[in-house]
Structure 1
Amino acid sequence: MLVVITMDLCCTSVHRVILAVGSDYFRSMFTLGMRESHQSCVTLPFILASELELLIDCSYSGAIPLSWKCIFEITSTALQLQYQPALSLCLDFMHQEINPHSCLDVASFAEAYEMVQLLEVADDFVLRQFQKVACTSKFKDLPAKKLLKYLKSHSLYVPSEIVVFKAVVAWIQAKPKTRLRLTKDLMKTIHFHLMTFKEFHEVKSLNMWSDYSLEKLYETIFEEFCSNETDYSQCRIYLPKESLILIGGDQTCEDKGSRSISRELWFGNSLRNHLGIKKAMEWRKLGEMPDPARYSHEVSVLRGQLYVFGGKNYYGTNDILNSVYSFKGTYDPLQNSWERLAEMQEKRCSFSVVVLDEKIYAIGGYCEPDYLESVERYCPVANSWSFTSPLDMPLSAHVAKVFQGQIFVSGGLSNQYQCLASMFLYHPETGSTYLENMAKPRAYHCMETLGNCLYVAGGIATDTVDQLACEVYNPEADSWTAFTSLPVPHVGAGSAVLEEKFYVLGGYSREDFSDTKIVHRYDPTAQRWENMGKMPGPNNDIQAALLCLPSHFRL
């Protein structure tokens, strides 16, 4: 404890830790003073457990916010004193506030103190945000061994090999005298055969190749780029922590004369970059839902738990379901621990489900012969359903999504089977508030939140016309803007957002009823749709979700 005397001679008792956290001047003063007095050799010897406790109380109240300026000192002290409340607060800060400028410091700190979980979080962030991390000044100080570890990782996520190449060159040129000799080993980690001609032109134009010692290396790189014998097992693979899951759906049988409904679950095991701009997803079968097989159903994820609702189990009448299943805990197919929950109060297909405030809402839909205006809410704690305010009108084949704590509902079919261009907010207590209409009517479409907007794609424009036009909604301006149209129809497709890209999966064409067994991914940065390869199984009226899977289901 210190006594601070102010200019007006008032005396105030202040803990040293409070002054140290808030001022470099006091931090240096206390550290120097303790070194000179030879009282201790810990990193911050003047911080006692009681003072740490006060700091924690102040941090929780917001009086003393933690910052990157002091977090490593406080964490090391908490480790030395084994003061768990302080340590937990510091680790929470680093987990939540990690960014491209701090992640390498976090990784170094975690490695020095053998904090395995923190190191995994930091390394994972570097691999996921490699392009941004490579632009920071700290990246140029990365040890060669650590850089090679990142470059060789199967989890390295980059939009193109040119990003890896530029990062390597920037690292070498930061200290060319000592690092130029590592060029060969570093260049081996870059897949030049995956580059486009435009990208390789950037490689070729680099002044670095004028160095005589790199002449043979460039020839090898050029041969790799020109080679037609591509080993696709060597293509870069990205394994996301969250996996894209496909649930149920139906498809045309091989004989083309009938259709089949599925209980299958598939997951996107990896994303592969191939030659040029060609990309593909590798799919693996994950397991099966309980009976019955279903399509035109809905799914949601709440607290890592997968829920499956309603749908149809055949193509006739009286085939609409109100059954609900969930998987206990984090999804692990080896456990196969599905649980049947309380049934919805109404049978529903072609409806929409959202999660808001730890409750699940089933909105509208179809139950022969009527379209539904009812909305019901599921409480997981009580395992019960209750009706909330109905929609203004019966609605089916629409899409609802939660964005910024509000439920947005777009398009759909009216009870006159008319495609709608509407967009409205639904509130469980007060009902609907209408917003600006879409430019194009649509039903059986996809809508996802991405960034600060809602992206809408696919569906039908009328009963017999596919809707290829796409739109993005800005809630702040209450306005719609067109973006790149889909290359093929996607009616009744699944959708999800993974790694800041909009996935539209499968569906069919209403004009000729042909299946669309393709996954398209929209990149808002590049403003284009990418063909991600074929669907693994069922492709119509499927549902998609993001789940964290156990590591033994990955490559």
Structure 2
Amino acid sequence: MFPRWQRPPPRSEEFSSWSLLQRVKPVKEKSGDQSPAMEGAVQLLTRDGHSISHNSKRHYHDAFVCMNRMRQRGLLCDIVLHVGTKEIKGHKVVLASCSPYFHAMFTNEMSESRQTHVTLHDIDPQALEQLVQYAYTAEIVVGEGNVQTLLPAASLLQLNGVRDACCKFLLSQLDPSNCLGIRGFADTHSCSDLLKSAHKYVLQHFVEVSKTEEFMLLPLKQVLDLISSDSLNVPSEEEVYRAVLNWVKHDVDGRRQHVPRLMKCVRLPLLSRDFLMSSVDTELLVRHHSECKDLLIEALKYHLMPEQRGVLSNSRTRPRRCEGASTVLFAVGGGSLFAIHGDCEAYDTRTDRWHMVTSMSTRRARVGVAAIGNKLYAVGGYDGTSDLATVESYDPVTNTWQPEVSMGTRRSCLGVAVLHGLLYAAGGYDGASCLNSAERYDPLTGTWTSIAAMSTRRRYVRVATLDGNLYAVGGYDSSSHLATVEKYEPQINTWTPIANMLSRRSSAGVAVLEGMLYVAGGNDGTSCLNSVERYNPKANTWESVAPMNIRRKSYHTACHSQRLLICYPPTASALDGGYPDDPLTILYTHSELEFVNSL
């Protein structure tokens, strides 16, 4: 008898791995829950059906948990990172696999690849320790207490996931008191998306931001960049003017010399004449500089010579437009067979939704509507009893209508348009006859002024602006529907006939798109039209383009994202001669030359 440890191995014919496999039954698939030991096991039959492939979903997790415990106990560690007074142990293979920075350090021909102790500079010790922990656990907590040290450390080690988490946290913390600081922090560390979002936040909340300590400490260049932006969101230019003065007065001795450069970026012509005289002209910091006096004179000329605004136009006369604000389409008033409405609806192009807003104080059908800056104007119209000279304006911020100065003439079925900040009203009907008179409203002074009359009386006329001129398109002169068009040049206060349209049209839709004047639908005296034509001002010619899907009149058009929006109520009335089955809006795509149904 041999001791057990001295016994010879069995003969191959008596026992072998193959003979054992021959005795093992093939694995059969079982229903129900698998045991933890079988979790992740995947059956894979060979030719004789006697093998499986095992894929454990927990393997990587369990392995890294084990390696992290070994790191914490100092087992098999082959690198010690020194930063400040802190020593952080780790495994090169783990750090190199998670961080491109460490991968380059430990795999290239650098001296650190052969060292067991490496000293790091320009990184926070606590942040480095958290990031090493993250390399083993894939978990990290980002908060107010560590984000300012964690983000630059993650950037250095090229741990983009942690860097993105830091940016996401900072983005969630934006408010007027810290957005400038976050913007500067993002710029320093090349976080482009965070920088863009923080800058956009500053522009959108400028009024609140301009009152913070961070704003008062901004360098001159950054202040100039902000107040020069077309995207600055302010209710009026007065807010920009006040912000500039407050910034200068925060360190008046060191900043008074910058006043001329700053005032060149304030859009003084957009301030009211009263504010210019009572606040700007009396400010000593402004009066001290001759360049500022020139800017003040320019602004006053813009008010006193409205007919010359086209010549005086520059970057300071251009209204600001808030970046990120959605375009809103308004449907105002209107009438049905039995009623005149004062309702107002707004369509948000960003959310693709209509919603009701405050109704006008007066019911108005056949009303003229236009927008100047942040206000919507409802001009004239018919209230079911008489034609109106009254005007009211809507402020979307306060959701309120306010009365404005009335026109000099009652007008319904009129054409309105805005040119160089002035509201023009042309033609229409005063209750007794068709009109050829025209007038304009200056919202800065609150006054209406008569301008030259058109050569033709026009009711149901449409007016549009193109290349600094007004165009009065078609209409009805009490005897016939018109194909004639007139152009108004404000510098010389003159209406001039241009080429006739291809069709007679009253109550048509008119809009400007990519330097062309489009006229769609309308009434030619015998029927409603679906034809569309456009005017080329350089060639003084009209040409037909794709027709609409449905004949239309008594509707309005607008432009958005290089498309024409044609707005028509779904319940059209006999008053306007519409069709009740019409869709609410259709879009005309300039590049495709076709109309498509929408909404």
In the superposition, the TM-score normalised over structure 2's length comes to: 0.45
User: Which protein has greater RCO, CA pairs closer than 8 Å, 6+ apart?
Assistant: 1
